């Protein structure tokens, strides 16, 4: 019965190729009982046979649903999946990633025992060769259960959708959806969801393996990539400022993302004239003033850079001195 579904995995699929079936098997092998979970895959206009793979799985798996949409981007596919999901909780998974074996039952038990609205999850990067890589989203967290407002004000907020296991009712009741037509939509979704969450906690153990595709990253770094991504950044920052006017708890998040935006522009391969044009746009969007709220700076070089970035004229000087760039 659909009323008994505890967990919906929502997966946007676009030309996932050889990674799709390993991802699906990692969900099937979680140790969840048949009928207590579902997998909702939304094909975003794939051209590589991914849709045929989804149809094959749908034909033989009762818990599996496959939907096909015109190509609109990952956010459109995730929103469609969230619309049709029936589970009490939702976990959005990327089609080329994997879950840690048998972690879902433990996470669901904690969600129910502690009556959580959101549980943030530990993530580890991996490649085709190894699961070893950087571990994120397991540090700088408050112990125990806190409100979403407290989490936004005092914790390092992980923005990726797949880092969140959340109660579907919270998103549906408050109309929390991903921004469509842009990349970086996760940066707005997570704070928006946390605004309305009464009980939030963090999972200290790694639950999710994120595929780190270096080849894809290198191919994307063209002038068009930078200009499109910067335009998306500004749209996200505008939306976050709208949420801040409503909730009054997103100051640290906005400060952190403003610094990331300015660092992204600094590290881009755009010409100096184009960089200066974006500095003017950032002034118009109020980006520099948001740095007053930044709390998540741990390295001394980053602290010094962020302090200078608060003044547009100082940031312009930094742009002309690449040797000053903070190292990650």
DSSP letter assigned to residue 49: S
pLDDT of residue 319: 87
Residue 218 has pLDDT above 50, yes or no: no
Q: How far apart are CA 44 and CA 291, in angstroms?
A: 36
pLDDT of residue 217: 44
> Which residues does residue 65 pair with via DSSP β-bridges, in sequence order?
40
Place 2 in a pLDDT band, splitting at 50, 70 and 90. Answer: very low
pLDDT of residue 325: 61
Average pLDDT, the chain: 88
Residue 199 has pLDDT above 50, yes or no: yes
Place 1 in a pLDDT band, splitting at 50, 70 and 90. Answer: very low
Q: Are strands 64-68 and 135-136 parallel, antiparallel or unpaired?
A: unpaired
Q: Which of 233, 204, 216 is nearest to 136 (CA)?
A: 204
The more confidently predicted of residues 269 and 66 is: 66
What are all long-range contacts of 297-300, with beta carbons under 8 Å and residues at least 24 apart? Answer: 297/259, 299/326
Residue 159 has pLDDT above 60, yes or no: yes
pLDDT of residue 79: 97
pLDDT of residue 306: 67
Residue 299 has pLDDT above 80, yes or no: no
Sole residue written with tokens 């048949």: 34
Residue 101 has pLDDT above 70, yes or no: yes
Q: Select from 3.40.50.1970, 3.40.50.720, 3.90.550.10, 3.40.50.620 the CATH code of 2-212.
A: 3.90.550.10
**pLDDT tens sequence across 235-274:** 999 999 999 999 999 999 998 899 889 989 988 989 999 9
Q: Which of 253, 241, 221, 324 is nearest to 282 (CA)?
A: 241
* In contact, 210 and 125? CB cutoff 8 Å: yes
Specify which of 169-173, 224-228, 296-300, 304-308 reaches the highest per-range mean pLDDT: 169-173
Q: Which of 21, 29, 20 is nearest to 95 (CA)?
A: 20
- Rounded to an integer, the average pLDDT of 39-55 is 96
Q: How far apart are CA 77 and CA 74, in angstroms?
A: 5
Q: What beta strand segments (E) does 143-199 contain?
A: 164-167
Q: How far apart are CA 1 and CA 23, in angstroms?
A: 25
Place 134 in a pLDDT band, splitting at 50, 70 and 90. Answer: low
* Distances in whole angstroms, Cα of residue 265 to Cα of each of 54, 255, 261: 39, 16, 6
- Rounded to an integer, the average pLDDT of 44-69 is 94
Instruction: Give domain limits for the chain.
Output: 2-212, 216-324
- Which tokens sit at 191? 């704070």
**pLDDT tens sequence across 162-197:** 999 999 999 999 999 999 999 999 899 999 999 999
> What number of CA atoms fall less than 13 Å from residue 111's CA on the CB side?
23
């Amino acid at each position: 019965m659909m009323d008994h579904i505890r967990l919906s995995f929502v997966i946007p699929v676009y030309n996932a190729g050889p990674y799709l079936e390993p991802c699906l098997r990692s969900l099937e092998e979680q140790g969840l009982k048949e009928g207590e979970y579902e997998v909702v895959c939304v094909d975003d206009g794939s051209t590589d046979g991914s849709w045929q793979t989804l149809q094959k799985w749908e034909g033989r798996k009762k818990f599996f649903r496959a939907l096909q949409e015109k190509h609109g981007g990952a956010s459109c596919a995730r929103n469609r999946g969230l619309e049709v999901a029936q589970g009490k909780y939702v976990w959005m998974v990327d089609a080329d990633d994997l879950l840690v074996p048998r972690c879902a039952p433990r996470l669901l038990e904690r969600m129910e025992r502690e009556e959580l609205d959101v549980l943030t999850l530990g993530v580890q990067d991996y490649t085709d060769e190894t699961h070893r890589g950087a571990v994120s989203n397991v540090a700088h967290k408050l112990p125990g259960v806190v409100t979403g407002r407290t989490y936004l004000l005092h914790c390092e907020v992980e923005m990726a959708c797949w880092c969140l296991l959340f109660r579907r009712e919270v998103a549906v009741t408050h109309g929390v959806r991903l921004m469509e037509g842009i990349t970086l939509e996760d940066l707005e979704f997570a704070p928006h969801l946390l605004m309305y969450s009464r009980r939030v906690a963090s999972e200290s153990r790694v639950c999710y393996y994120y595929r780190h595709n270096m080849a894809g990253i290198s191919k994307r770094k063209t002038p068009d990539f930078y200009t499109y991504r910067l335009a998306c950044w500004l749209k996200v920052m505008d939306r976050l400022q709208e949420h801040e006017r409503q909730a009054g708890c997103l100051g640290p998040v906005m400060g952190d993302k403003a610094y990331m935006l300015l660092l992204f522009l600094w590290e881009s391969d755009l010409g100096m004239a184009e960089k200066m044009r974006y500095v003017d746009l950032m002034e118009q969007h109020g980006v520099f003033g948001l740095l007053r709220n930044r709390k998540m700076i741990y390295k001394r070089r980053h602290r010094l850079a962020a302090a200078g970035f608060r003044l547009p004229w100082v940031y312009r000087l930094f742009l002309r001195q690449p040797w000053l760039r903070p190292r990650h």
